Structure formats: structure tokens, C-alpha cells
């Protein structure tokens, strides 16, 4: 692990996004609450938050962090068709939270797949990426808007 002992504590925040493509009928079933396993978004939100909190157990050499905030949000997109996932993590600490936000996004998308696989095994999880990060020695970073 990288030694962060001499680094200053700063407010750090990271946002990651991803999406899961699915059949239009699957998205309609989610929106109507007709998924046999239950509330898809509530379950995926909890899974994403838990994943962010367990990041150091999942990703080798990640520091264990005392997160001050984790949010996981979803946007149904009929044009995709599918669901867009966004996770944001923050803390005041000596190392960033990019991996926690990416892990939350990934596990939330995996949970969406798990909740819906009985009706749609063709779903595709894609485009998981860091959107922005703030704080730390390297300063702020944000993804350039795509054309």
C-alpha cells in the first residue's frame, strides 16, 4: 500500500457513473414494480453503498476509509433502454475515494442485473467511469464533456 501518513487531510469527493442496457420490457417491469425479487432500486442502492464501504476488502492495496457520505442514484432511460447509475462518495482524509465510487457504481449495476436476470439475461453493464474527483494533492479533476 502507498504510505499516506504524511499527507494532509482534505475534503475529498468522487463521482462515478455507469449504465445497464436491457430490453424495454425489463425497464417497464422495473418501473411498474413487477420484479419478483422486490424493489430493484432500493436493493441496488443498498448494495452499492455496502460495496463502497467494503472497497478495501475487494480491491487489493486500497486503504480502509471512514466514508462520511455515500449516495447511489438511478435514472431510468427509455432511450437506452436501461438504467443509468451514479455513485458519489466523500470524506475528509488523506487519500481519495475514486475506487469507492467506482465500486459502488459497479456493484449497484451488478445488483440490477441480478434482480432482473430471471426475465432478461441479455442485459449489458457498460461505460463505468470516474466523472470527477475533488481534493488532495493532485487537485480537482473532471471528465471533459463528450461531443
If we measure between CA atoms, which residue out of 96, 111, 131 comes closest to residue 51? 111
If we measure between CA atoms, which residue out of 127, 111, 108, 122 comes closest to residue 19? 127
Task: Please check whether residue 108 is in contact with residue 51, taking contact to mean a CB–CB distance below 8 angstroms.
Answer: yes
* 120 is annotated as an active-site residue: no
Q: How far is CA 31 from CA 35, 68, 116, 117, 130, in A?
A: 9, 31, 12, 16, 27
C-alpha torsion angle, residues 89, 93, 96, 97 (rounded to 10): -20
Catalytic residue among 114, 120, 127, 140: 114
Tell me the catalytic residues: 114
Amino acid at each position: 500500500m502507498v504510505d499516506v501518513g504524511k499527507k494532509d487531510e482534505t475534503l475529498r469527493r468522487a463521482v462515478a457513473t455507469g449504465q445497464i442496457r436491457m430490453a424495454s420490457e425489463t425497464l417497464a417491469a422495473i418501473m411498474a414494480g413487477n420484479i419478483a425479487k422486490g424493489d430493484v432500486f432500493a436493493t441496488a442502492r443498498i448494495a452499492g453503498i455496502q460495496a463502497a464501504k467494503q472497497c478495501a476488502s475487494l480491491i487489493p492495496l486500497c486503504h480502509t476509509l471512514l466514508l462520511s457520505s455515500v449516495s447511489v442514484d438511478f435514472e431510468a432511460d427509455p432511450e437506452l433502454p436501461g438504467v443509468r447509475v451514479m455513485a458519489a462518495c466523500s470524506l475528509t482524509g488523506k487519500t481519495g475515494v475514486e475506487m469507492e465510487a467506482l465500486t459502488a457504481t459497479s456493484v449497484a449495476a451488478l445488483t440490477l442485473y441480478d434482480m432482473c436476470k430471471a426475465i432478461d439475461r441479455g442485459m449489458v453493464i457498460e461505460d463505468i467511469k470516474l466523472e470527477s474527483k475533488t481534493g488532495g494533492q493532485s487537485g480537482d479533476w473532471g471528465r471533459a464533456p463528450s461531443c
